[in-house]
Chains A and B, each alone.
Chain A
């Protein structure tokens, strides 16, 4: 069975938690005791209805405020597929948490309130989904019950969104009219909207092609990449010469006999063996965690990147990247940070902020020399040592990087590497 990871995004009151609750409830993924617990909690509220949103807000302060603060992960499965729901907060001040949640997802559900149509948060969330390279977008036009299930309202919003998608270069968009509160078109087909002939949300989630496996045959988009995590050297009498490089294949395929290059040193060798705990394989692909053995002794340690020699990444000390700034301290030209790409860490300094992106209009604002929490910008960084990477839009695995504050040790920035500057 395969696995789909998807994120739900939307403004504070778009009904995101209710949608997730509905999806779990109608797909019978909520167990009796969990249901009793929310029934109990719902009773302390005024209207007496079961509040499905209570299923998802796990923290005390979230329940107090009735909003989602941090990303939560939920799990359910149907006979067709397993799902990981990344439940991200909608509020502007938690944009960084949405970026965190979106980084591993193959699909994003963008909730739109049918009464309000495309709003600021829709634009912001769609921008993040597109920057993070999420291949599929579902525009869930919710609260259709509050607009008399009107087809015209639905069509208008589809037209508004299509324009936005064009600007963002997002191609795979699916529109579904629904009422999460009443369960229309979430799991069960709505009788209130006979004019809608498409799939329900769950049908769509079960059947959408997961096409970013990053291990297909197109080597151009899925070059073989293996960041070295750890060197296994038992150094016992019988395994005296054993030296295995442990890591995860983050994209592409490696086969026994492949000619490889180790970066940044540029040394070459061939793959002698591929194993997992002493079981050997002739080939291995993303996302397998394996141990590689090379034909010759090469100096390799954690942080190095092993690639197939016929598909070299970009190697550079000056890089251009889209940045989502995630710290309350300002990001400034001249500041220094640690940059981590794969398992490699090096110091870097901020050379330039090429432009800041207005998250609502998508305009590029120039002459900016510092960024605040949740700002998005294109930046140019100079690294202390050369880094090996692929452009993020081609390869999420080797094009994503983080910035770490060396004094607080906090992860302060998400980088989508674009290329050599």
Chain B
């Protein structure tokens, strides 16, 4: 009896989620309504049904999210009958008088960290399950499945715990927390293949649709809700696009595409010569170590 690799990845992810349930008092599952965290929710159903999830879903809303993803998020939480907690970057900015980045390509993405750390403190979360994958980015490729963060949420790549076999050590001191990544070993294509195999529903923006966009530095950015203000040299266009990742509007670019079914999306991803984050994430391209530096600061 030999399991297909998708079954192997699924089984590993379920095992990791159950380790969280077994080892922590107050975990949470970070859920944004994007494909990776939707996959996590699906895996949690497999890990814990017919029981309830041993954790709530937590979304840190930058206020610049796609409405389609937010609606999907709320509907899914309601359909499965699990608790959804939402915390708003907007509130953190107001309460802490944070300075919002301004100017061209300004994004609130970095401010998410403050809201996340506040939520961890508010609910005393000791573990946060996230949908990060090691294939996304070279600093992510270095991260353990159980990633211990200090009381400031900071990741220290030089002090990572050895992680052997399938034994996970989630012991921490009070105030510390662990970020847990059950789909560490999945690639973008694995996630899509799994979504197809399991018939998992996704927000509509993952599939080709007509949208008004502005062209900036060769990237197609959504204008949704006026989050991005057009500048004089930005060109406004209407194109048929889909989103390969669904993050903050201000730093997520769309791809021109005719792919309006799962099969078509998978075909496109198999044929592409550009990586997921390379194509769509403006925030990773700011410097050679952008992701590493954000993680050291507490980013998930």
- Chain A residues packing against B (C-beta within 8 Å): 1-3, 31-34, 37, 41, 55-61, 63, 69-75, 82, 84, 96-97, 99-100, 103-104, 213, 215, 229-230, 232-234, 239, 242, 244, 246-248, 250, 253, 276-278, 285, 287-289, 302, 326, 338, 340-343, 396-397, 400-402, 404, 409-411, 414
B187 contacts A230, CB within 8 Å?
Answer: no
B134 contacts A104, CB within 8 Å?
Answer: no
Most chain-B Cβ atoms within 10 A of its Cβ — which of A100, A242, A253?
Answer: A100
Q: A3-B5, A58-B141, A247-B18 are in contact. Are A411 and B162 (CB under 8 A)?
A: yes
In the bound complex, residues from chain A placing their C-beta under 8 Å from that of B19 are: 229, 343
Pull 15 A–B residue pairs with CB atoms less than 8 Å apart, ordered by A: A31-B272, A34-B275, A59-B289, A61-B158, A73-B184, A74-B134, A230-B21, A232-B50, A234-B50, A248-B18, A277-B47, A326-B162, A396-B165, A404-B169, A411-B169
CA distance A63 to B135 in the complex (A): 19
In the bound complex, residues from chain B placing their C-beta under 8 Å from that of A33 are: 274-275, 278-279
B22 contacts A230, CB within 8 Å?
Answer: yes
Interface positions of B from 1 to 40, Cβ below 8 Å from A = 1-5, 7-8, 10-12, 14-15, 18-19, 21-22
| B89 CB, nearest partner CB in chain A, Å | 27
| B180 CB, nearest partner CB in chain A, Å | 14
| A254 CB, nearest partner CB in chain B, Å | 12
In the bound complex, residues from chain B placing their C-beta under 8 Å from that of A250 are: 166
A69 contacts B169, CB within 8 Å?
Answer: no
- Chain B residues packing against A (C-beta within 8 Å): 1-5, 7-8, 10-12, 14-15, 18-19, 21-22, 45-52, 54, 134-135, 137-142, 157-158, 160-167, 169, 171-173, 184-185, 187, 272-275, 278-279, 288-289, 292-293
Partner of B11, one of A57, A104, A244, A288: A288
CA distance A276 to B15 in the complex (A): 12
In the bound complex, residues from chain A placing their C-beta under 8 Å from that of B161 are: 410-411
| A186 CB, nearest partner CB in chain B, Å | 21
A75 contacts B134, CB within 8 Å?
Answer: yes
A34 contacts B135, CB within 8 Å?
Answer: no
Partner of A402, one of B49, B137, B169, B172: B169
Which 7 pairs from chain A and chain B are nearest by CB? Answer: A58-B138, A33-B278, A289-B14, A409-B171, A229-B18, A3-B5, A232-B51
In the bound complex, residues from chain B placing their C-beta under 8 Å from that of A84 are: 185
A343 contacts B5, CB within 8 Å?
Answer: no
Other CB < 8 Å A-B pairs besides A230-B54, A341-B167, A402-B164, 7 of them?
A2-B5, A41-B288, A58-B142, A74-B141, A104-B165, A229-B18, A397-B166
| B42 CB, nearest partner CB in chain A, Å | 10
In the bound complex, residues from chain B placing their C-beta under 8 Å from that of A96 are: 162
Q: A103-B165, A278-B49, A414-B164 are in contact. Are A287 and B8 (CB under 8 A)?
A: yes
B163 contacts A277, CB within 8 Å?
Answer: no
In the bound complex, residues from chain A placing their C-beta under 8 Å from that of B165 are: 103-104, 396-397, 400
Minimal Cβ-Cβ distance residue in A for B52: A234
Minimal Cβ-Cβ distance residue in B for A238: B50
Partner of B158, one of A55, A69, A246: A69
| A321 CB, nearest partner CB in chain B, Å | 13
B167 contacts A402, CB within 8 Å?
Answer: yes
B15 contacts A248, CB within 8 Å?
Answer: yes
Partner of A239, one of B47, B50, B289: B50
CA distance A82 to B4 in the complex (A): 10
CA distance A229 to B162 in the complex (A): 21
CA distance A2 to B9 in the complex (A): 11
B185 contacts A285, CB within 8 Å?
Answer: no
Minimal Cβ-Cβ distance residue in B for A342: B167
Partner of A59, one of B157, B163, B164: B157
Partner of B135, one of A75, A246, A288: A75
In the bound complex, residues from chain B placing their C-beta under 8 Å from that of A411 are: 161-164, 169
Q: A3-B5, A73-B141, A278-B49 are in contact. Are A302 and B162 (CB under 8 A)?
A: no
In the bound complex, residues from chain B placing their C-beta under 8 Å from that of A343 are: 19, 22
CA distance A250 to B171 in the complex (A): 22
| B199 CB, nearest partner CB in chain A, Å | 14
A401 contacts B167, CB within 8 Å?
Answer: yes
Q: A1-B4, A3-B8 are in contact. Are A248 and B166 (CB under 8 A)?
A: yes
A289 contacts B167, CB within 8 Å?
Answer: no
CA distance A215 to B18 in the complex (A): 22
Minimal Cβ-Cβ distance residue in A for B274: A33
CA distance A285 to B3 in the complex (A): 9
A69 contacts B157, CB within 8 Å?
Answer: yes
Most chain-A Cβ atoms within 10 A of its Cβ — which of B166, B184, B288?
Answer: B166
In the bound complex, residues from chain A placing their C-beta under 8 Å from that of B11 are: 248, 287-289
B288 contacts A288, CB within 8 Å?
Answer: no
In the bound complex, residues from chain A placing their C-beta under 8 Å from that of B134 are: 72-75
| B177 CB, nearest partner CB in chain A, Å | 13
| B233 CB, nearest partner CB in chain A, Å | 24
In the bound complex, residues from chain B placing their C-beta under 8 Å from that of A82 are: 5
B7 contacts A288, CB within 8 Å?
Answer: yes
Minimal Cβ-Cβ distance residue in B for A232: B51
CA distance A44 to B203 in the complex (A): 42
In the bound complex, residues from chain B placing their C-beta under 8 Å from that of A229 are: 15, 18-19, 21-22
CA distance A99 to B167 in the complex (A): 13
CA distance A247 to B272 in the complex (A): 38
Minimal Cβ-Cβ distance residue in A for B54: A230
CA distance A252 to B172 in the complex (A): 33
B21 contacts A100, CB within 8 Å?
Answer: no
CA distance A41 to B12 in the complex (A): 36
A277 contacts B157, CB within 8 Å?
Answer: no
B21 contacts A59, CB within 8 Å?
Answer: no
Q: A82-B5, A340-B169, A414-B164 are in contact. Are A72 and B15 (CB under 8 A)?
A: no
| B52 CB, nearest partner CB in chain A, Å | 7
In the bound complex, residues from chain A placing their C-beta under 8 Å from that of B167 are: 340-342, 400-402
CA distance A200 to B135 in the complex (A): 25
In the bound complex, residues from chain A placing their C-beta under 8 Å from that of B5 are: 1-3, 82
A103 contacts B164, CB within 8 Å?
Answer: yes
CA distance A70 to B273 in the complex (A): 28
A58 contacts B18, CB within 8 Å?
Answer: no
CA distance A338 to B167 in the complex (A): 13
B1 contacts A215, CB within 8 Å?
Answer: yes
Q: A31-B278, A400-B167 are in contact. Are A70 and B157 (CB under 8 A)?
A: yes
Most chain-A Cβ atoms within 10 A of its Cβ — which of B5, B46, B134, B165?
Answer: B165
B292 contacts A242, CB within 8 Å?
Answer: no
